Each structure stands twice: as C-alpha cells, then as structure tokens.
A and B are shown apart, each in its own frame.
Chain A
C-alpha cells in the first residue's frame, strides 16, 4: 500500500513537470517566433519606405515585384522575401491620383503593408 502511494506521487510529479515543460517550451517558441517576426516587420517597413520614396519620385506605370534576402536587403529575383507594388490610378481634375500600395511578404506570408499616392497633372483638355 505504502509503496504504491509513493509510486503514484512520483508519477504525478513527473506528469506535472512534463506538462509545465510543454507549456514553457511553447512559450519560448512563441517568444522566439514573435521576436523574429518583429525584426522582419521592422526591416520590411524600412525597405517599403525606401521603395515608396523612390517610386513617388518617378511613379511606375505598372505593378512590380522587388526581391529581398532574409534581412530585407535587395537581392536577385526569386529570393526569400519580396515586396509587391500595386499601381492604381483614379482620375482627378485634369490628371490622375496614382496610388501605390506596397505589400511585404516573408516567404508566402504577408507581414506588412504601406501605401502612398501622388497627383500626376495631365494635359488640360479644352
């Protein structure tokens, strides 16, 4: 009787420890992933800001894709991360308002978005 009580107590302790460890490891893993995503978002935001500033200087006419390495530094085509630029025009007065929408992807996951616009004056029609 005494022996089995001790055994049950030990088994319950081990179960409790295993449960606590699983919870802790999941928390550690979540913290790691969150901080990883946070760094990617920071770097993606800076890269998007750069693309937007350059694009507003000379607004592109069509959608474009920019490729980046793991640290969101410009890379060759088909690299790990990318920023997609979508162009949309809306007539306004004699010109158009060109809206540029940037979406950053880490792999296939969308992590951040940014948009900006510029008025492009057109020829005045009589």
Chain B
C-alpha cells in the first residue's frame, strides 16, 4: 500500500468519526431540547387547566354565600355551595397527594378528602378570602402562581 493511499484512508476514517460524533451530538442536543419543550408544554397545560378550572368554578358559584374557604386538617379547602331543589350541595376543591382534587356532595355530609377526583397535578394549593375576592396560590413543578378572582356577587361567607 502506498503512503498516499494510507493517508487518504486515515483522512476518510477521521471524517467518518467526525460525522458520527456530530450526528450523536445533534441527537443528544435534540433529545435534551425535546425534553425541555415537552416539560414546559406540560407545565403550561397544567397551569392553564388549574387556573381556568378554578376560575370557571368560582364564577359559576359566585352568588351570595356561595363561596367559603376552610382548613381541614391542614388542607386548604374551597367550598362552593348551591341550593338545588331545596337541598344544599357543596363542591370541594383542594390539593391532596400531588393533585388538585374535586368532589361534590350534600352539604350536610362530612368532608372526606380521599373521595376527590384528581383534576391536575400540583404540589400545593391554598385559598384566601380577601376583601371582594378570592386569592388562589398554586405550586406546580416547583413554580408558584397567584391568581386573584373578584367575587362579583359578594359570594364569600
């Protein structure tokens, strides 16, 4: 084999190596960016779901005496109450075991947090009734968000 041929072979192998290395880098960078985009997208969806869901519920129950906040064994619970055919029913919204949960029952029954159906993932959720509105603090994927909702019908009790 001539010296020139072996140099050419070496050059081609070096190029192939660079080719493989660059391809691998592109795949790794792409994978990392895909993961970050997917995480962000999930976080956004969770945030939008939680805020839109709570805002929608509070607006629907915004009537005199329809909204209350209590603390049940360290869990901040939003009570949304309505009278249907002479009986009072309440929807509870709270956070338990890493999820925002909701359940609905007659107002004269005891609150059982385990009965709730998971709506969205969250690390914590707390409600505070303020003058004229409801403040909602939610923590999802280690990021805090505060939402303030005006109670137009003076729904708090």
Please judge, given known A-B contacts A17-B19, A42-B48, A43-B145, whether A57 and B30 are in contact too, CB under 8 Å.
Answer: no
Which residues of A from 5 to 48 have beta carbons under 8 Å from B? 6-7, 10, 13-14, 17-18, 21, 24-25, 28-29, 31-32, 35-36, 38-39, 42-43, 46
Which residues of A from 56 to 112 have beta carbons under 8 Å from B? 56-57, 71-74
What is the interface of chain B mostly: helix, strand, loop, or mixed? helix
Interface pair A32/B146, CB less than 8 Å apart = no
Report B-chain residues with C-beta under 8 Å of the C-beta of A57: 132-133, 150
Q: Assign chain B's interface to a size class.
A: 20 to 34
Q: Tell me how many residues of A have a C-beta within 8 Å of chain B.
A: 32
Shortest Cβ distance from residue A71 to the other chain B in the assembled complex, whole angstroms: 5
State the CA gap A73–B30 with chains docked (Å): 30
Instruction: Name the residue on B nearest A36 (C-beta).
Output: B40
CB within 8 Å of A: which residues of B? 4-5, 8, 11-12, 15, 18-19, 22-23, 26, 29-30, 33-34, 36-37, 40-41, 43-44, 47-48, 51, 132-133, 143-150
Given contacts A42-B47, A54-B148, 18 further A-B contacts (CB under 8 A): A6-B8, A14-B18, A17-B19, A17-B23, A25-B29, A28-B33, A31-B33, A32-B33, A32-B37, A35-B36, A42-B48, A46-B51, A46-B147, A50-B146, A53-B150, A57-B150, A72-B145, A73-B145
